[in-house]
């Protein structure tokens, strides 16, 4: 009887712990960053991720399944008619699907073509606010206006209304999240920061990603006008991660969540 009892307890514990997702700390570092920037980043990461890990911030995605050798490439600050198209060319060459968190205001003229192209080629086109403010400095009404205006513009161009959003600068607090959650959006952060926005150096970006990658990482990169080094680093990042045995998944698949209304 006792062996059966202990076996049942073991099965129960296994089932309970198997359903508890691991929420990563955010990785990404480089000796190219000065002391002040490193301290600032570490403090932001602690202040932001700890409430998610403790369950105080809800409906916030940081990473995917840590037991699977998969990663998800995400690109902020699109659309840019130059670098966004270059990133799309690279992704098409390697047959990799990614997720683009796009800003609503620049979605016009040639930039609008980049939005529709990303969607038509099977990538997720998601919400990164209308003009890139810190949402924590806005009223609840201003936050939802930012999100609605951007998702409506994406819907106009692609036929799809995104429900996944990434706050500019990763800036969130409880009030902002309450607004986001109440209006049906899900916040997506990242678990591996390529630091392409700070390093501006192809080899440093590649080294940072390859050194710090883990199963289930959501990788933050950028494809805006100022991110030429990100474009230069992307092919080698894809090649090296593939050689390491990683599979690339779009967010919708990675975290099993509905991306659009």
Give catalytic status of residue 47 as yes or no: no
Catalytic, out of 76, 77, 196, 217: 76
Tens-place pLDDT, residues 143-176: 999 999 999 999 999 999 999 999 999 999 999 9
Give the chain's domains with CATH numbers.
Answer: 24-254 (3.20.20.370)
Give the model confidence (pLDDT) of 18-54 as tens digits: 456 899 999 999 888 899 999 999 999 999 999 999 9
The H-assigned helical ranges of the chain are 2-18, 35-53, 83-94, 109-120, 140-158, 174-182, 196-199, 202-212, 228-243, 251-254
The region that residue 109 occupies, defined by phi over 0 for left and psi between -120 and 50 for alpha, beta otherwise, is left
Catalytic residue among 27, 128, 132, 222: 222
Q: Is 148 helix (H, G, I), strand (E, B) or coil?
A: helix
Q: Are 224 and 78 in contact (CB under 8 A)?
A: yes
Cα(179)–Cα(12) distance, rounded to whole angstroms?
37
Q: Is 102 in contact with 115 (CB distance < 8 Å)?
A: yes
Residue 222 annotated in active site: yes
Query: In Å, how far are 92, 121, 192 from 216, measured between CA atoms?
Result: 22, 23, 10
Give the residue ranges of the chain where pLDDT is below 50. 1-3, 5-12, 14-18
Q: In this predicted structure, what is the pLDDT of residue 30?
A: 85
CB 102 within 8 A of CB 68: no
Residues of the chain above pLDDT 90, percent: 85
Quote the pLDDT of residue 129: 98
């Amino acid at each position: 009887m006792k062996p059966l009892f202990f076996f049942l307890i073991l099965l129960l514990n296994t089932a309970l712990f198997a359903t508890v997702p691991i929420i990563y700390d955010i990785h990404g570092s480089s000796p190219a960053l000065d002391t002040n920037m490193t301290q600032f980043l570490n403090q932001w990461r602690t202040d932001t991720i700890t409430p998610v890990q403790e369950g105080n911030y809800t409906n916030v995605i940081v990473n995917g399944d840590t037991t699977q050798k998969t990663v998800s490439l995400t690109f902020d600050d699109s659309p840019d008619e130059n670098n966004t198209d270059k990133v799309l060319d690279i992704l098409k060459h390697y047959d990799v699907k990614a997720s683009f968190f796009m800003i609503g205001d620049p979605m016009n003229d040639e930039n609008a073509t980049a939005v529709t192209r990303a969607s038509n080629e099977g990538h997720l086109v998601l919400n990164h606010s209308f003009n890139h403010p810190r949402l924590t400095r806005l009223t609840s009404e201003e936050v939802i206006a930012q999100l609605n205006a951007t998702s409506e513009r994406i819907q106009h161009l692609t036929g799809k209304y995104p429900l996944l959003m990434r706050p500019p600068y990763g800036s969130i607090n409880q009030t902002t999240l309450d607004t986001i959650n109440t209006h049906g959006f899900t916040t997506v952060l990242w678990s591996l920061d390529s630091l392409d926005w700070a390093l501006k150096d192809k080899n440093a970006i590649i080294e940072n990603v390859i050194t710090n990658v883990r199963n289930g990482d959501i990788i933050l990169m950028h494809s805006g006008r100022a991110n030429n080094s990100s474009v230069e680093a992307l092919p080698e990042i894809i090649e090296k991660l593939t050689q390491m045995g990683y599979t690339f998944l779009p967010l919708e698949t990675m975290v099993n969540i509905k991306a659009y209304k």
